[in-house]
Structure 1
Amino acid sequence: MQNEKLITLLIIGIATIFLISCSKQNSLNGKYYDIYDGKAKLILEFNENGGRFYEIETRAITNVDTKNKSFTFSVNSRDFVVTYDLKAGGNLKYDTGSYFTSSNKNTAYKKDSEAYKKALKITK
């Protein structure tokens, strides 16, 4: 009987840790920077209600979908869907699709993450 309780508690503990780690991985919340020439420029900011895309003008981010790894912003009443891939180290690779005429694939770095610190060192 004691062994069964111990095994049950162990399984519940492992499941809890797994669920917490998965939920943290999917969270975009925070500030993301474009790093160039040793300088960090705020480019994306996410919170529980959406966020902001700081490019030429500030754009509101809506429809954040962590399951499908996408979010939306609007320009002149036209919606642009951005796909992304957030790595554990703080790299956010995103594709703005048809918004820009040049390169559409970009990388931003979450503030104070391992990737952010490494990118600042490399570009100095």
Structure 2
Amino acid sequence: MTQTWLISLFSKELKIDPSNFGVKESFGDFGVDSIFLAQILRSINQRINTDIDPSITYEYPTIELLTEWLIRKYSSSLIKAFHPVKDTLSSEVTNHRESRTVMKEERKKLIVRSKIHRILQ
């Protein structure tokens, strides 16, 4: 998923068909410069809500290497960026549990009231 996303970012900006984009080819082989890489990193940073230093593209100069590094370093951010449903689902489960707890408490109150009512009669 991450590699496909990166290929999409690069191929869109470079106007290259994604199927022609080599993941093992150096960014320099595509004629990109530091300004281009900064733009790509801006997109990456926005998507995964982080601030990656631009020099990382020189340390990991291919899609394949950059993908591996991103997954190692930002796996939880990538999961959130590409699978927000999990966060929503987690929130729904928590809300459901809280609702069940409230319902149990209300039920206990009703039982106590019922017992008190019977005793008073």
Q: TM-score, normalised by structure 2?
A: 0.25
Richer in strand (by share):
1
Specify which structure has the higher proportion of helix. Answer: 2
Larger RCO (alpha carbons 8 Å, 6+ apart): 2
Rg larger in structure: 2
